[in-house]
Every structure is written in structure tokens, then in C-alpha cells.
Structure 1
Amino acid sequence: MEYASPIRRMFATILDGILFFLTLIIGYIIWWLIVLGRGQTPGKQLLGIRAVKRDGGPGGWGTTFVREVVKVVAHSFVIGFFADAILLLIDDDEHRSLSDRLADTVIVRNTQRIV
């Protein structure tokens, strides 16, 4: 498993925010629900990364949903956003954020091809 870099993860979050508004919110939510089962968000899908369980198993819809809801709640507070950024940069080689720790996931480069 090759872990995704903190920079790639931050760009995926920024891309998710941009896509949210560009797709007029409804389009983003539909896209989000489709790719969530693969452990991805639209931004993660475009950047070729995904969330998997820490033991290497698939992230799945429920795990990824919980992870993303925790991320949105944490990022709605400025302190939560900075705490996440600090965890990504100073943590071990897994670069786990607060939402990763709560959902027991890691973000990896997507090696499987999904058609």
C-alpha cells in the first residue's frame, strides 16, 4: 500500500470544495454518493486516491460516509481545520487526520483500475 501524500490529500479537499459549487451542489452530492462506496470523494477520485481500512480492507460506503461527516464537522471549526493539517504533516508515515483516526482508515494511492 502506498500512502497518499499530505499535499495530494489537501488538494483533494480543496478540489471537493470547488466541485461542490461548480456542480451546483446537487450534481456534487449525486457524484459523491456514487463514488463513496469506493472510499472516495469526487476530489479523491480525480486525484487517484481513496480511503481504505487501516488493515488494508476496503473503506466501503459506511466507513467513508462517517469519515467524511467527521471531516466536515471538524473543518467547520477553524481550529479543527488547522488541527487536521498539523496531524497530516507531523504524524507518522501514514499521514492520518482526525477523521482517519475516528474511522480507522488511511488514504492511499488508488492502484486498482475502476472502469
Structure 2
Amino acid sequence: MTCSVNHETITTKFCSICGAPKGSAAAAPAAPQWNQPVAPPVAPQWNPPAQQYVPPQNFQQQPQYGQPFPQQPAWGAQPLPGYAFPLASRGKRFGALALDALFFFLSLFTCGIAYLIWMLIVWKDGQTPGKQVLKMRTYGTVLARPANWGHMAIRNYLIPQVIAIAYIPFYITALSYDSYYGYGSDYYATSWLGNIVSLAFYLTSLVMFLNSSTNQTLQDRFAKTVVLDESVRY
């Protein structure tokens, strides 16, 4: 039995170039025409687009032309975290103490009333007359704020009064003065006792001040205060 096949029909149902069935959706791309320029392939973008540079937040900008540079802490002044001012140097602390002594001596012509009034006025701002002249201020270490009346009363009044207790026996023996014999031996012995206690206290305070990283005296430790130099600001 012989079967005849129409070869022309079979061959015309498929594309002679790509072999795909004629009329199907998946047709091959058309070949470029003769003498037609071919677009080069686009290379993939491997590098991501560069981001805009953002300077760090804590970068300190330089002053513009004609503006002064920020003032640096003086020699011996140390920065203290949490405060806008550095610690007052030991030299300025001694200078304020010397000024307080000078003002007190000058006020003796008015029985000390002028110095007392001045001191009470500046106490509310955490200062003494000497500290006010040299632009220093006492700050509390708990809230990092200027010292108030309570701090200054403990620091400058209460602690010296506690030391003065050692002189009570001296005042008691002074009452036993005899117009004929004068003062007895107890009077002079108790006066030395008060002087020794007072000297020991202030020497201890001086040693603590010289060996403290925050320049705190014994009074500062009790009152929880530090002295800052407000003539220099960060």
C-alpha cells in the first residue's frame, strides 16, 4: 500500500530561517536590513549612583574671614563633662581667695558691714566677691547648675562654724579671768587646741585641693560643688 505525502505542504508550514511555525506568537526578531546601522548593546550598570557627602554632625566649622577663633581654655583649666565652662584653675582660685581677704580687710573700716552685704548679695549667684571679680562661679555637682543659698551656706559658713566648735573651751576659760592673777594656764592651753584643729582642717583642705582632678577642697566635697571659670566658654 502506497501513501503519498505532500512535501510542499509540510515545508511551507514552517519558517525557513528559524524553523518556527508560521503564524505563531513566538516569532523570532527581525534581522537587520542591509546597510542599516546596528545599535551597540547597553552595558549594565555595576556601580550604584554615588550618594551626596554629608559632613559629620560634631564637625566644628572654621570661623569665616574676619571672625575670631573660639577662645580656648586657659592653661591649667580642664574641661568638665556636662558643663559649659571649664574648671577654674588653681591660680585663679588662689587669686579669688586673696581678693576676698583683701576686701574683708578693707571693710574693717566699716566694721565688716560692707563686705558682709556684698557677700550676701553674690551668694545667691554662687559667688564670693573675689570670684565675682575674676568671673568664676560655684556650681552644684548634682544638677550642674549654679550653687544656691544652701550650697554657699554649707560651703562658706556652716563648715567654718563647725571648726569653731574647737574654740568653745577657749571661750569658757576666758570667762574665768581674774583681775589679780589674770588668765590661768587653761586659757592658753585651750587657745592652742583651737588653733591646732583649725590649722589641721585647712591643711587637709589644701592637700585635697592640690591633689583633686576637679580642684575641689574639703568644703567642696561636703557641699558637693565645683568652681568653674566663666571667662572661657566651650
Q: Do these two structures clear the TM 0.5 threshold for a shared fold by scoring above it?
A: yes
Q: How does 1:77-96 map to 2 (within 5 A)?
A: 77-92=198-213, 94-96=214-216
Q: TM-score, normalised on structure 1?
A: 0.85
Gaps of at least 5 residues in structure 1 are: none
Pick one of 30, 33, 42 that aligns with 2:120: 33
Contact 2:139 / 2:227 at 8 angstroms: preserved in 1? Answer: yes
**Residue identity in the other structure for 1:29:** L
How far apart are the structure 2 equivalents of 1:70 and 1:111?
A: 29
Q: How far does the alpha carbon of each residue in 1:85-108 deviate from its partner, in whole angstroms, 9 at most, with x for none?
A: 11111112x111111011110000
Gap change, CA 1:108 and 1:69, over 3 Å in 2: same
The answer to which structure, 1 or 2, has the higher relative contact order (CA under 8 A, 6+ apart) is 1
What is the CA-CA distance between 1:71 and the residue it aligns to?
Answer: 5.4
Which residue is 1:16 aligned to? 100
Count of equivalent residues: 111
Hey, what's the Cα distance between the residues in 2 that align with 1:89 and 1:62? 25
Find the counterpart in structure 2 of residue 105 from structure 1. 225
Letter in 2 for 1:96: Q
Name the Cα RMSD after superposition: 2.1
Paired with 1:68 and 1:80, the residues of 2 have a C-alpha distance of 14
| TM superposition shift of 1:54 | 0.9
Rg larger for: 2
- Judging changes above 3 Å, is the alpha-carbon distance between structure 1 residues 70 and 3 closer, same or farther for their aligned structure 2 residues? farther
Q: SS of 1:15's equivalent?
A: helix
TM-score, normalization by structure 2: 0.44
The aligned counterpart of 1:50 is 137
Gap change, CA 1:4 and 1:70, over 3 Å in 2 = farther
Q: Where in structure 2 are there 5+ consecutive unaligned residues?
A: 1-84, 165-194
The structure in which a higher percent of residues are helix is 1
Percent pairwise identity = 33
Amino acid at match of 2:145: G
List structure 1 segments (4+ residues) > 2 angstroms apart after TM superposition: 70-76
